[in-house]
Structure 1
Amino acid sequence: MRIYFKKVMAVVSIAGVLVISGCQKVGSVNPIEIAALNGPTGIGMVKLMSDQENVSKKYNINLYESPDEIVGKVVSGEVDIACVPSNMGAVLYNKTDGEVELLGTNTLGVLYIVENGDSIQTVEDLRGKTILSSGKDSTPEFVLNHILEANGIDPATDINIEFMGSHADIASKVVTEEGSIALLPQPFVTTVLANNEQMKVALDVNEIWKNAENMDLPMGIMIGKKVFAMEESKQLKNFLKAYEQSVKFVVNNPKQAAALTVAYGIILDVEIAKKAIPACNIVYKDAEGSREMLTKFYEILGAANPKSIGGKVPDEAFYASTK
């Protein structure tokens, strides 16, 4: 099967995606350096990128396949802004001794339990089953374990989690093996549904998380260097406003957004994009609006494995003030 993704290294492609920046110094000829991951978070940027296509280059956006590729660039100061998984923001805050800060949350829950069959209707139905998953020792594993435990299932004894190398590997296997079950993010979920009519979304992990914790599941965030944010505070605020408008456009106009997503190489099939966008939980929540949700999320991850958040829950200085 074909997964409708490709890595795009370009000024205007995005994806994991954070990209905050109308933030360029007055008179500066250097674009803002942005590191982003392939994934749903980039989709929220497509309208903003389209609107600015004919103006001078303000952003140098490089997309990466793995968060590990971004870590070194943030620590070394090579990038001004990075769009990373939520737990990686905490890791980088601790790793840099507080030199980065949260700019906002851009993606909520994008994880789903999919099945090649029709045996799973509730979390309890997962008991005794095998679930294909990627993300060993990372957020997908911790989130899956937490929702299982919240519903009385011991991940170590009541279920078999088979970890694989990538979402693409999982998608290929689940779509060809009848009766298989997998944890997958969007838009891989939409892709497997399109490739096999027997596939179904069995469970929405974000909804299960909300039922257990009375809050959304924060999956993607934007972080920035504190020095950069101080030097470019006005431009940063302007960008965040523009980004919020872009998100609203994408959420309210999925068909038009799908075409832009294809144009920028984030998803290569417009029909897949149309169906995937509403399920990608694209949002914009500023740092203050994200504080309570992320603090609780970090506490949960830290209890499961302190290394998952860099050893400790970020303190108040992690949350930027962009008022």
Structure 2
Amino acid sequence: MKKMIKYFCLFLLILCSCNRGKKENNVFHVAVLRGPSVIAFAKMIEDSPEIDSKRLSVDIVDSPEQMQALLIKSEADLAALPMINAANLYNKGLKYSLLGCPVWGNLYIVEKKEYNAPSQGTNTLHIFGAGTTPDILTRYYLKQKGLTYSLNYSFSTPQEISQGLLSGQIRTAVMAEPFLSLILRKDSTLYIKSSLNNPDSTSPGFAQTAIVYAPSLQGKSTILDSLLDESCQFAVNQPEQAIKILENRNIFVPGSLTPESIERCQIKYLSTKEAKRSILDFLRLIEKYEPKAIGGKVPNDGFMPEKQ
């Protein structure tokens, strides 16, 4: 009797294992780095659309390091991550190709209203992410505008800078959404001084976010472009619904997103073909200021293949 129970349990384990494998075979895994990119995927998260009878399952990734590990292990078919990370990984031999860009800027300089800048000397500007997109775009903006600040990197995350602004330790800082909207609601003496997101009047912004795909989705660019465009338009045109989806799934804490914060993320899906010039301009800018951030050079044509 004991032997029969043992064999029965073994049979159940094998059966469950087979079922898990079968389920995995019917899924395309989409990894999205937590932040503004997730907003662009709200509709896709809700609808779980299918491609060739395979469901697109969206998983939220909490850090660039976790995202890198997923891509190295080929555990994601589609991924949304910072453009500089995508270029860096490609230059290091990870052959995920660029599909498009959904987020075109979420960085702003914020300041206390009652703050009186010194008439002589240099103002202090706090920045997070030394050597990353916020740092590079801040330096570029200041140079373009001929502004002089002493850059302070002692607060290394948006959360730390938020706390510093609210406590009065910081007077002027670079902030990103959705943290920006939170502190603006909590402290009426804070205001947006400048946007760091518009290189010129003809550009949609800086191509800060990349969507890359694995060989498993080769030849699916047309339907992916359509799904991503639809999801981005949903976030922009129905922000309250997008917020509701993300809060109901505990992706964002209730109250952390507003229609204004979504607007300030500059969400607009453009395929690689549509945005190639803007993407190259952004990568060349990064190469000029911080080449190691993208692996030392602008990626070759294989990163943005003409035929997808």
Pick one of 281, 284, 291 that aligns with 2:266. 281
Is the CA contact (8 Å cut-off) linking 2:45 and 2:58 kept in structure 1?
A: no
**Which residue in 1 is equivalent to 2:164?**
173
**Which residue in 2 is equivalent to 1:84?**
81
CA distance in structure 2 between the partners assigned to 1:61 and 1:107 by the alignment: 17
**Which residue in 1 is equivalent to 2:17?**
none
Instruction: Tell me the matched-pair count.
Output: 284
Q: How do 1:78-227 and structure 2 match up within 5 A?
A: 78-96=75-93, 99-118=95-114, 128-153=122-147, 158-177=149-168, 180-207=171-198, 209-210=199-200, 216-225=205-214, 227=215
CA distance in structure 2 between the partners assigned to 1:149 and 1:297 by the alignment: 16
Compare CA radii of gyration and give the structure with the larger one. 2
CA distance in structure 2 between the partners assigned to 1:271 and 1:283 by the alignment: 21
Aligned CA-pair RMSD: 2.9
Is the CA contact (8 Å cut-off) linking 1:75 and 1:95 kept in structure 2?
A: no
SS at match of 2:153: strand
Structure 1 residue 50: deviation in Å?
A: 2.0
Aligned partner of 1:51: which letter?
A: D
Which residues of structure 2 form unaligned runs of 5+? 1-21
Give the TM-score of the pair, scaled to structure 2. Answer: 0.82
1:257 and 2:242 equivalent? yes
**Which residue in 2 is equivalent to 1:36?**
32
SS at match of 1:63: strand
SS at match of 1:49: helix
CA distance in structure 2 between the partners assigned to 1:309 and 1:175 by the alignment: 34
**Which residue in 1 is equivalent to 2:10?**
none
Is the CA contact (8 Å cut-off) linking 2:113 and 2:190 kept in structure 1?
A: yes
Is the CA contact (8 Å cut-off) linking 2:203 and 2:278 kept in structure 1?
A: no
**Which residue in 1 is equivalent to 2:294?**
309
Residue deviations 1:165-187 (CA, integer Å, cap 9, x gap): 21111111111207611111111
Structure 1 residue 263: deviation in Å?
A: 1.7
Structure 1 residue 310: deviation in Å?
A: 0.8
SS at match of 1:35: strand
**Residues 199 and 69 of structure 1: CA distance in aligned 2, closer, same or farther (over 3 Å):** same
CA distance in structure 1 between the partners assigned to 2:251 and 2:69 by the alignment: 24
CA distance in structure 2 between the partners assigned to 1:134 and 1:32 by the alignment: 34
SS at match of 2:142: helix
1:229 and 2:232 equivalent? no
**Residues 175 and 186 of structure 1: CA distance in aligned 2, closer, same or farther (over 3 Å):** same
Which residues of structure 1 form unaligned runs of 5+? 1-25
CA distance in structure 2 between the partners assigned to 1:205 and 1:153 by the alignment: 13
Is the CA contact (8 Å cut-off) linking 2:48 and 2:57 kept in structure 1?
A: no
Structure 1 residue 204: deviation in Å?
A: 1.1
SS at match of 1:206: coil
**Residues 27 and 135 of structure 1: CA distance in aligned 2, closer, same or farther (over 3 Å):** closer
Give the TM-score of the pair, scaled to structure 1. Answer: 0.79
